[in-house]
Amino acid sequence: MKMLIVGNGIAGNEVAFSLRRARKDFEITILSAEHVPEYDPCSLPYFIGRDVPRDAVFRRRLEDYSTHGIELVLGQRVTAIDPEARRVSTEQGLTYGFDRLVLAHGGSLFIPPIDGIDTQGVHSCKQLAAADRLDQYQGSAAVVIGSGAIGIEAGEALKKRGYEVTIIELLDWVLPALFDPETSRRLAERMNDCGMRVLTAEKVLRIEGGERVSAVITDKRRIPCDTVVIATGVVPGKALAQTAGIEVERGIRVNEHLQTSVGGIYACGDCIETVDACTGEDAMFQLKHNALEQARVVARNLLGEPAAYPGAYAFARAHFFDTHAVTFGKTTRATQCELGQLEIIERDEGEDYLRVIVKEGLVVGGQAIGRFADFIGLFIGAMWRKDNIPGIRENWPLIVRAGSAYPWTFRKLGELIGLKA
């Protein structure tokens, strides 16, 4: 069986190596648009910040592919899929046939149509080649456009490299997809305290500079700088599937077996649209744990097991300097437009903050800064198990005096939401 995988990222590699562990006879080929073995995009900011050496970003070495009999083809960007003829063709004009195809080509950085975006000194941090350019660049004052996870991490990295850093966010609060304004406000304060200037509700109009970036102009001010980092979000790679007649919406559409609308063609990772594991709604949480779990489901299906993917979930840490924060599930904003009784549990104690979003008595999301983040995993567990929060309150005396240590997670959850013994 010829297994062809488009994309040499987290998802693509997990499919390839999972298949190889189970079957020695499959022909497994990975087509990579980039020129390096598998690396982790999550590691890039820490290489730029010089927290780790460059080779720490790699998850695999070239030898791993040859040792496991996986053909890794570098520098071949797939540009067309012919589902009938069961083959793909690349930018370089090569064609590869398949029995089963896995689309795992991920997403790409959204490049906003800003004047001057092509000026020398404008960088990004989503792929290794771009991170290398940023690493080698000599600058001193950076403007990061976008305050998502990548933007914040790139900002921290450049601050560590001695840059002056300004982060500009179009929306009203930082990390807008992951945190509520109440939490973000506290994070933004800390960013400012760390010397990362944060500007929210501000729009970049153009980038100035002749031979090199010299300033960023927003709708409120002119910011002199010599470096710009674009961190305006990742969009799933749809075009390849779309032109082949594979169904796409916000991402490539897949069923519960992660098969696309075309038989024998699967998809996983940042390029797909999937469902929320808790609520079943359409969702896109382009995060590493989801890519890995999806890839494993694809591999199981390719091996003949009709495994169903339970869905994706949001989980992300936000860490910069001494600030440690975490978010999981849905934000208040995402839940507000829905029907159902909403309760926000909030605890604010100096440097520590907790925010738990409870809908109809069930945990649907949470955010924390500082010590409340330490046991956030218990709230995630409560979400999965559909623990009844009002029930914990009502039965608190029973939990405290249960005469047994076993209900300790309920005891700890109760303490975290402020119940006293």
**Can you give the binding site for another protein, defined by CB under 8 A?**
40, 42-43, 46, 51-52, 56, 59, 288-289, 292-293, 315, 317, 319, 324, 326, 361, 373-378, 380-381, 388, 390-395, 398-408, 410-412, 421
- Which two structure tokens, joined as six digits, stand for 392? 């914990």
Distance CA 277, CA 313 (A): 6
Name the amino acid, one letter, at 94: L
Of 10, 1, 8, the C-alpha closest to 296 is 10
CA distances from 369 to 82, 92, 182, 292, 320 (A): 49, 49, 11, 27, 12
Q: How far is the CB of 354 from another protein (least distance, A)?
A: 13
Place of tokens 């829905």: 338
Q: How far is the CB of 30 from another protein (least distance, A)?
A: 18
The secondary structure of 7-50 as a DSSP string is: --SHHHHHHHHHHHHH-SSSEEEEE-SSSSS-B-GGGHHHHHTT
Question: Pairing mode, if any, of strands 234-236 and 323-329?
Answer: unpaired
* Nearer residue to another protein within complex by CB, 280 or 377: 377
Q: How far is the CB of 29 from another protein (least distance, A)?
A: 24
Distance CA 225, CA 350 (A): 35
* Nearer residue to another protein within complex by CB, 275 or 400: 400
Name the amino acid, one letter, at 61: R
Name the amino acid, one letter, at 360: E
* Nearer residue to another protein within complex by CB, 121 or 311: 311
Q: How far is the CB of 282 from another protein (least distance, A)?
A: 23
Q: How far is the CB of 343 from another protein (least distance, A)?
A: 12
Q: How far is the CB of 376 from another protein (least distance, A)?
A: 5
Largest CA distance in the chain: 74
* Nearer residue to another protein within complex by CB, 77 or 324: 324
Which alpha helices (H) appear in 126-245, and where do they start and end? 128-136, 149-160, 181-193, 239-243
Q: How far is the CB of 45 from another protein (least distance, A)?
A: 8
